[in-house]
Chains A and B, each alone.
Chain A
């Protein structure tokens, strides 16, 4: 009984801890939007492009992408798709190993 209790308490504190970590990650992503209200939040590589032209005004890119997303909406869509495919597989994997572990522990008992 005490063992079960202890296990339950451990699980509860782990959930709280994980929840706080998740909140921290979200805060790290959202805080800049408030700290730097007036910033443009353009990509760091766009800034690097500017820096390069400043250092070497004569530099011309010698190759351009074979295909570019025709609009920023389509680019956003493709990035979201990339994230969704990856997140989908991670979810599938965790569900799979979770079920496998449960089945194995049922087999033993």
Chain B
């Protein structure tokens, strides 16, 4: 399984590299959100980031050996958000990798890890941006992980298999991240005729439709990596109450 994940990541990196280079890829671009919206989204996001700091601190204090698994969740988000993958719409986008960590460590922990990934990309890759960091963190690292956790717990409560819960959690978190991006842009740029709704349709066409096959891919990759973690780090997952003791 280890080898297979390696191969798939390698091939995805290759397809990412051979696909015609574009100026940038995803998230709201630097300077492309009016200042009031930048401030508003940042204000909405800050409480989640603060809670995330406490959440991570608590997890690590109670169980220092979970540090490695937390780093692994961060690494997964790091890889997936670097892979710009072609989609059926004829444009490219990248997955987020947020669902996995959210299932294991809770939503706000991923607010921190997502923020770190976005900051890295804004500073070194001119991808996303510092002024739009609040809005992008809100969509990818607040909406994404909360959707993941809500989906995961719902599917588990319905007594559906673990893999289905993981798959849907990751795929929906990925998809709704970009639905949020579309809403944010439509709010800031309502169309002259048709207003918010007309703009929303337009931005959903750009971001959300492109994201559908990518969300499926992210769901599958998350299931594969989750199975690996469940096989070798069962005790950590039991500590986090993701897997039950008797299982």
Per DSSP, chain A at the interface is helix
A79 contacts across to B, CB distance below 8 A: 16, 82, 84, 125
Instruction: List CB contacts (< 8 Å) of A34-66 with chain B.
Output: 35-36, 38-49, 51-52, 55-56, 59, 61-66
Cβ-defined contact, B29 with A67, below 8 A: no
Cβ-defined contact, B217 with A29, below 8 A: yes
**Distance, CA A23 to CA B95, complexed state (A):** 18
Cβ-defined contact, B91 with A44, below 8 A: yes
Which among A22, A45, A86 has the highest number of chain B CB atoms within 10 Å? Answer: A45
Q: Can you list 18 A-B contacts with CB-CB less than 8 angstroms, sorted by A residue number? A: A18-B227, A26-B11, A42-B22, A44-B207, A45-B24, A49-B29, A65-B126, A76-B21, A79-B82, A79-B84, A80-B16, A83-B16, A86-B82, A87-B13, A90-B72, A91-B6, A96-B68, A98-B232
- Nearest CB on A from B217, distance (A): 5
**Within the complex, which residue of B20, B29, B31, B233 is in contact with A48, where a contact is CB–CB below 8 Å?**
B29
A interface residues, tally (CB under 8 Å): 66
- Which residues from chain B sit less than 8 Å from chain A, CB to CB? 1-2, 4-13, 15-17, 19-32, 34-35, 68-69, 71-72, 75-93, 120-126, 129-131, 178, 185, 189-192, 199, 202-203, 206-207, 210-211, 213-214, 216-217, 220-221, 223-225, 227-229, 232-233
- Nearest CB on A from B168, distance (A): 15
**Within the complex, which residue of A49, A82, A90 is in contact with B32, where a contact is CB–CB below 8 Å?**
A49
**Distance, CA A48 to CA B208, complexed state (A):** 12
Per DSSP, chain B at the interface is helix
**Distance, CA A85 to CA B123, complexed state (A):** 17
Cβ-defined contact, A83 with B71, below 8 A: no
- Which residues from chain A sit less than 8 Å from chain B, CB to CB? 14-15, 18-19, 21-22, 24-26, 28-33, 35-36, 38-49, 51-52, 55-56, 59, 61-69, 72, 75-76, 78-80, 82-87, 89-91, 93-98, 100-101
**Within the complex, which residue of B25, B75, B85 is in contact with A45, where a contact is CB–CB below 8 Å?**
B25
Cβ-defined contact, B126 with A41, below 8 A: no
Cβ-defined contact, A68 with B126, below 8 A: yes
**Within the complex, which residue of A24, A31, A69, A90 is in contact with B220, where a contact is CB–CB below 8 Å?**
A24
**Within the complex, which residue of A46, A56, A82 is in contact with B22, where a contact is CB–CB below 8 Å?**
A46
Cβ-defined contact, B26 with A30, below 8 A: no
4 closest pairs, A vs B, by CB?
A39-B90, A61-B31, A86-B79, A86-B78
**Within the complex, which residue of B5, B17, B82 is in contact with A82, where a contact is CB–CB below 8 Å?**
B82
**Distance, CA A95 to CA B1, complexed state (A):** 11
B84 contacts across to A, CB distance below 8 A: 43, 79
